[in-house]
Amino acid sequence: MTAVDLVQAIKKGLLDLLFPPRCVGCREVGSLLCAKCRDEFELVEPPLCPHCGRPRPSDRLCPLCQRDPLQIDGIRSVAYFDGTLREAIHRFKYYNLQDLAIPLGKLMGDYWEKSPLPAEIVVPVPLHPDRLRERGYNQAALLARELGKSIGLPVSENGLVRVRATRPQVDLTAQERKENVSDAFRCSNTELKEKRILLIDDVCTTGATLEACSIALRQVGARSVWAFTLARAR
Ligand SMILES: [Zn+2]
Ligand SMILES: [Zn+2]
């Protein structure tokens, strides 16, 4: 431990004493996400569409993938974007609760232990530089770092860039989302060429953002692109 690390650790210890962490779900003192609230997350469990990862009555391709399949190789998510997980992600993104990356990243690591995906390098979905400046951090990059550490894969944070600021996707239809993010990403990093990429984001809604990223990654010759998100909208 360096002197700087030591000072940081002491500072954090003092802050925890003065302002002990509280669970974002039940407000209980002790940690940012208590075990009880974490156990209440509803996991996205099989059977799933093998391609887009939507829950299905059987593990056959869903109607959307039969009709208009995404180019991305596949999408998987840990839990539904509801209740406490939704609240946790909201605080993680908008209230500077960056330490939530540790328990949230661990959920992704736990999923991976049982259901790993084809991957050689982890790439977070980038924010536009203006948004990054405003927020100070990219929540997807924080998750990617935690996951990368736990599964032993390198993380490329500059490989993919968002070249166009996009509107928030919240109130858009599926078609509008697709148009909103199309051509929003560029990849110029040759280290991603021929690689099996694992794309990381906090939430998957229609998959439009992940698809736009995967198209940019394919353009530089990525061998495969799988996406893995913490949460998934129903
Ligand atoms: Zn709790
Ligand atoms: Zn599907």
pLDDT tens for residues 183-196? 899 998 788 999 99
pLDDT higher than 90, residue 53? yes
- In the reported structure, the alpha carbon of residue 41 is separated from the centroid of ligand 1 by a whole-number distance in angstroms of 11
CA 26 to CA 57: how far, in whole Å? 33
- In the reported structure, the alpha carbon of residue 26 is separated from the centroid of ligand 2 by a whole-number distance in angstroms of 35
> Taking residues 35-52, what's their average pLDDT?
96
Identify the residue with better confidence: 11 or 24. Answer: 24
Going by pLDDT thresholds of 50, 70 and 90, the confidence category of residue 109 is very high
Query: Which-ligand-closest: CA of 39?
Result: 1
> Taking residues 105-118, what's their average pLDDT?
97
- In the reported structure, the alpha carbon of residue 124 is separated from the centroid of ligand 1 by a whole-number distance in angstroms of 27
- In the reported structure, the alpha carbon of residue 110 is separated from the centroid of ligand 1 by a whole-number distance in angstroms of 19
Percent of all residues in the chain with a pLDDT value above 70, rounded to a whole number = 100
pLDDT tens for residues 142-181? 999 999 999 999 999 988 999 988 877 777 888 888 888 8
- In the reported structure, the alpha carbon of residue 165 is separated from the centroid of ligand 1 by a whole-number distance in angstroms of 35
> Taking residues 123-138, what's their average pLDDT?
95
Query: Which-ligand-closest: CA of 62?
Result: 2
- In the reported structure, the alpha carbon of residue 170 is separated from the centroid of ligand 2 by a whole-number distance in angstroms of 21
- In the reported structure, the alpha carbon of residue 61 is separated from the centroid of ligand 2 by a whole-number distance in angstroms of 5
> Taking residues 74-87, what's their average pLDDT?
97
Strands 185-187 and 160-162 turn out to be antiparallel
Q: CA nearest 140: which of 111, 162, 164?
A: 162
Query: Which-ligand-closest: CA of 207?
Result: 2
pLDDT higher than 80, residue 17? no
> Taking residues 88-96, what's their average pLDDT?
95
Query: Which-ligand-closest: CA of 28?
Result: 1
Predicted confidence at residue 168, as pLDDT, reads 78
Going by pLDDT thresholds of 50, 70 and 90, the confidence category of residue 124 is very high
- In the reported structure, the alpha carbon of residue 53 is separated from the centroid of ligand 2 by a whole-number distance in angstroms of 6
Query: Which-ligand-closest: CA of 40?
Result: 1
Average confidence score pLDDT of the chain: 93
> Taking residues 132-142, what's their average pLDDT?
96
- In the reported structure, the alpha carbon of residue 56 is separated from the centroid of ligand 2 by a whole-number distance in angstroms of 9
- In the reported structure, the alpha carbon of residue 38 is separated from the centroid of ligand 1 by a whole-number distance in angstroms of 7
> Taking residues 50-59, what's their average pLDDT?
94
Predicted confidence at residue 2, as pLDDT, reads 83
pLDDT higher than 80, residue 15? no
Predicted confidence at residue 5, as pLDDT, reads 85
Predicted confidence at residue 12, as pLDDT, reads 78
SS3 sequence of the chain: CCHHHHHHHHHHHHHHHHCCCECCCCCCECCCCCHHHHHCCCECCCCECCCCCCECCCCCCCHHHHHCCCCCCEEEEEEECCHHHHHHHHHHHHCCCHHHHHHHHHHHHHHHHHCCCCCCEEEECCCCHHHHHHHCCCHHHHHHHHHHHHHCCCECCCCEEECCCCCCCCCCCHHHHHHHHCCCEEECCHHHCCCEEEEEEEEECCCHHHHHHHHHHHHCCCCEEEEEEEEECC
pLDDT higher than 90, residue 212? yes
Answer whether 52's CB lies under 8 Å from 73's CB: no
- In the reported structure, the alpha carbon of residue 168 is separated from the centroid of ligand 1 by a whole-number distance in angstroms of 29
